[in-house]
Chain A
Amino acid sequence: MATKDGFIKHKVAHHFDTAEQEFETAKLGMWAFLGQELLFFSGLFVAYGVFRFLYPEMFIDAHHQLSWKMGALNTVFLITSSFTMVMGVRSAQLSQKKLMLKYLIATFILATAFLVVKYFEYAAKFHHGYLPSNWFTGEGLFENMHLFFGLYFVLTGLHGIHVAVGMGLIAWLIIRGNRGEFHADYYTPVEMVGLYWHLVDLVWIFLFPLLYLIG
């Protein structure tokens, strides 16, 4: 039921006493979930660390096949999208519905741009055969170079899946936000998706130098 200013009033779930408790609980749950996301990615970073430690020269040789320019471009996309996301949350907190939608759409577009760049990167790797060992046909000084690309594809692939999931969530926010569900009194989903989105950014902040800027 929309109120006269176009917003839908939020009903606190029956098992909470106050909206405040509901919000804080959701936030704590989200942070716990983000904690597990960090540990999830940590396994890949440990594997990266181990093999970089074992084969440092191979890593340096292999990373020349990655384009740091594309990586840097994607970093800028993701950082900017984090900024638009946080501005979207802020607009929701201030009940600025139109502004919030604009920021969310901007975030969505930047995420798409990230994946488009990723697509061109992947296409180049596929073209030159820099793939995990089952299909590896690339040229390099080291015969175990496929290890680097195995890790590269798993790391960026799982990160890319997180980006895609995030885009789905942002689209969901746009639909609900358009109905006027988010405003100063209730913006929990915006805040939660925002936290998730920053985590995606956070992982990339480490991926970028570790994969593209070894030297």
Chain B
Amino acid sequence: MSLENNSGKNFMEVAKGLKSWLVTLDHKRIGIMYLLFVISAFFLGGVFALLLRFELLSPNQIAFTAKQYNQLFTLHGAIMVFLFIVPSIPASLGNFLLPLQIGAVDVAFPRLNLASLYIYMVGAVFCFLSLYLGAVDTGWTFYTPYSSTTDTSVISITLGAFILGFSSILTGVNFIATIHKMRAPGMTWFKMPLFVWSLYATAIIQVLATPVLAITLLLLIFERLLGIGIFDPALGGDPVLFQHFFWFYSHPAVYIMILPAMGVMSELVTTFCKRNIFGYKLIAFSSIAIAIISFLVWGHHLFVSGQSQFAAMLFSLLTFLVAIPSAIKVFNWLSTMYKGSITFYTPFLYFLSFMFLFCIGGFTGVFLGALSIDVHLHDTYFVVAHFHYVMMGGTVMAFLGGLHYWWPKMFGKMYNEGLAKTSCLLVFLGFNITFFSQFIMGSKGMPRRYYSYLEQYQPYHIASTIGSWVLAVGFFLMAGYLIHSLLRGKKAPSNPWGGLTLEWHTTSPPPLENFDVKPRITHDPYDYENMDIPNEKGMLK
């Protein structure tokens, strides 16, 4: 498409109709389509979560049989991990913002970008086919030997996850090439926004870890189809090997989920504190450090799986290393806030939620990394609470923060700030009620993934379920005001929050090729002392 005759039109106005979206090569449209899909996946995974929380109100059967319950938590996990959280920030917000933030016209390979979206859709189809063919009851981790013997449709969903993996790999390849080669003149590596750094670290993991998931799932499929036997003890194989293979991807994948969230955090804290980031290089390098360390710690998922004690000690030791770069980031954000002129708009409330919840999630992660403690807490609700504090309290909060922060830029519309704050509060409260009670019952020994439980755990389960309802109310409120914003929202200014990074230099929504004039970068990305805020007159006061 050429630039002619498009002057004054934003990227949504240049072409209309369903077809213009389906064949688009514009990273912004692809990002928005991804956004639509990941939010739908989040909704679906959330519905499954509500259903299984409902069943857990009582130790006896309420609505679902034990098998259906197993299928529910498997689908909740698989959908949330593979369809929602892995692509959530990188593929939706990342796709939309990466070229904008580095001053490029598009990502390096626009066709590949669209292909990865379609591959994602094909993968999703296979996942949902599994619902129809007899939903999987293995848990999202597909552990052998159960997964190689159960009569549910393991092949369909693993094939789905395999395909989704390729979508993720192609996004990673695209981002690496984009960040290396497409930066605007003057944008050196240390003038890139930190969100870009985090996407870069994420892309490294996507490219280097995801193929191992692909081969693992392929081997599982072959195990079921051909009986190659390498994961089946009855055939001389080793089921623990499956866990090694699986977590070689899936532990780094946890950082695919959290790293972009950390990038969003760096954007939020600078804009809403109007201060230059504290320790830019440390934050940038800690992203890369997390990406590398993430490959060294997977064995902490196998502490009670029968791996050798030597390996367990090694992995336990290395696991503690992750705390260092994570803490560096948290302390730097905190220092950035110090003496900042803080404005409490909704995105910043999500920032604060992240700080609070991620710290709890992170610290409990350190407990679980300690070998002796993990033996007791392994596979209890303590672990469930821990990773929900990191994944939902971390990634989802940052995703929502980013969504609210860039919403005006993406759609050119404002949302109702009061409702948004109410919703944020409900989500925060609901989240803590749901999952803090799980910390308590987990530390008292309630095992995860159990259909029934002892009477003494019931109060915690009831609290957790009520919390899930509060969460749901918060999310439905959010869906309401966001849809309202799309339809009737006030027109957004180019720079409502007073951000400095390049996306705020252009209009909301941006024109087809992002910038009317090719940007030239002279300052650090968050240099509030020496830079004028772009498009300042529309800024919210």
Which residues on A are within 8 Å of B, measured CB to CB?
13-15, 21, 24-26, 28-29, 32-33, 35-37, 39-44, 46-47, 50-51, 54-55, 131-135, 143-144, 146-147, 150-151, 153-154, 158
Contacts and interface: CB of A to CB of B under 8 A. Distances in A.
Does more than half of chain A's interface fall in helix, strand or loop, or is it mixed? helix
B107 to A, nearest CB: 8
Contacts of A151: 228, 230
**Which 9 residue pairs are nearest across A and B when measured between Cβ atoms?**
A150-B228, A144-B236, A43-B215, A40-B211, A134-B227, A133-B227, A15-B105, A29-B177, A132-B226
17 contacts: A25-B109, A26-B109, A33-B169, A36-B207, A39-B207, A39-B209, A41-B215, A42-B215, A43-B215, A47-B241, A55-B236, A132-B227, A133-B227, A133-B229, A150-B230, A151-B228, A154-B218
A36 B227 contact: no
Interface in B207-251: 207-212, 214-216, 218-219, 222, 225-230, 235-238, 241, 245, 248
Given A15-B182, A33-B173, A35-B208, A40 B214 contact: yes
B67 interface: no
A39 B208 contact: yes
B180 interface: yes
Contact of B182 (A25, A37, A55): A25
Contacts of B109: 25-26, 29
A147 B229 CA distance: 6
B18 interface: no
B137 interface: no
Contacts of A28: 176-177, 180-181
A182 to B, nearest CB: 19
B266 interface: no
A153 B228 contact: yes
A146 B230 contact: no
B210 A50 contact: no
Nearest to B237: A147
Contacts of A55: 236
A135 B235 CA distance: 13
Question: Most chain-A Cβ atoms within 10 A of its Cβ — which of B1, B172, B207, B230?
Answer: B230
B106 interface: yes
A14 B1 contact: yes
Interface residues of B, number: 44
Given A43-B215, A43-B219, A50-B238, A15 B227 contact: no
A15 B183 CA distance: 11
Question: Most chain-B Cβ atoms within 10 A of its Cβ — which of A36, A42, A51, A158?
Answer: A36
Nearest to A25: B181
B110 interface: yes
Interface of B: 1-2, 104-106, 108-110, 112, 169, 172-174, 176-177, 180-182, 207-212, 214-216, 218-219, 222, 225-230, 235-238, 241, 245, 248, 513
Contacts of A43: 211-212, 215-216, 219, 245, 248
B175 to A, nearest CB: 9
A29 B108 contact: yes
Question: Most chain-B Cβ atoms within 10 A of its Cβ — which of A41, A143, A150?
Answer: A150
Contacts of A33: 169, 173, 207
A208 B271 CA distance: 57
Contacts of A21: 181
Question: Most chain-B Cβ atoms within 10 A of its Cβ — which of A37, A47, A132?
Answer: A47
A201 to B, nearest CB: 19
A165 to B, nearest CB: 13
B511 to A, nearest CB: 14
Contacts of A25: 108-109, 177, 180-182
A134 B108 contact: no
Question: Most chain-B Cβ atoms within 10 A of its Cβ — which of A24, A46, A131, A143?
Answer: A46
A31 B321 CA distance: 30
B245 A36 contact: no
B230 A47 contact: yes
A147 B233 CA distance: 11
A32 B169 CA distance: 9
Nearest to A149: B228
Contacts of A54: 238
Contacts of A15: 104-106, 108, 110, 182, 513
Nearest to A47: B230
Contact of B176 (A32, A40, A132, A146): A32
B110 to A, nearest CB: 7
A33 B225 CA distance: 28
Contact of B230 (A37, A51, A158): A51
A146 B226 CA distance: 11
A209 to B, nearest CB: 21
Nearest to A39: B211
A154 B219 contact: yes
B228 A39 contact: no
Contacts of B210: 36
Given A25-B181, A132-B226, A147-B237, 19 more contacts: A13-B110, A14-B105, A15-B104, A25-B177, A25-B182, A29-B176, A32-B176, A32-B207, A36-B207, A37-B211, A43-B248, A47-B245, A132-B229, A133-B226, A135-B226, A146-B227, A151-B228, A151-B230, A154-B222
B212 A40 contact: yes
A36 B169 contact: yes
A151 B108 CA distance: 37
A154 B237 CA distance: 15
A150 B235 CA distance: 11
B170 to A, nearest CB: 8
Contacts of B176: 28-29, 32
Contacts of A50: 238, 241
A147 B235 contact: yes
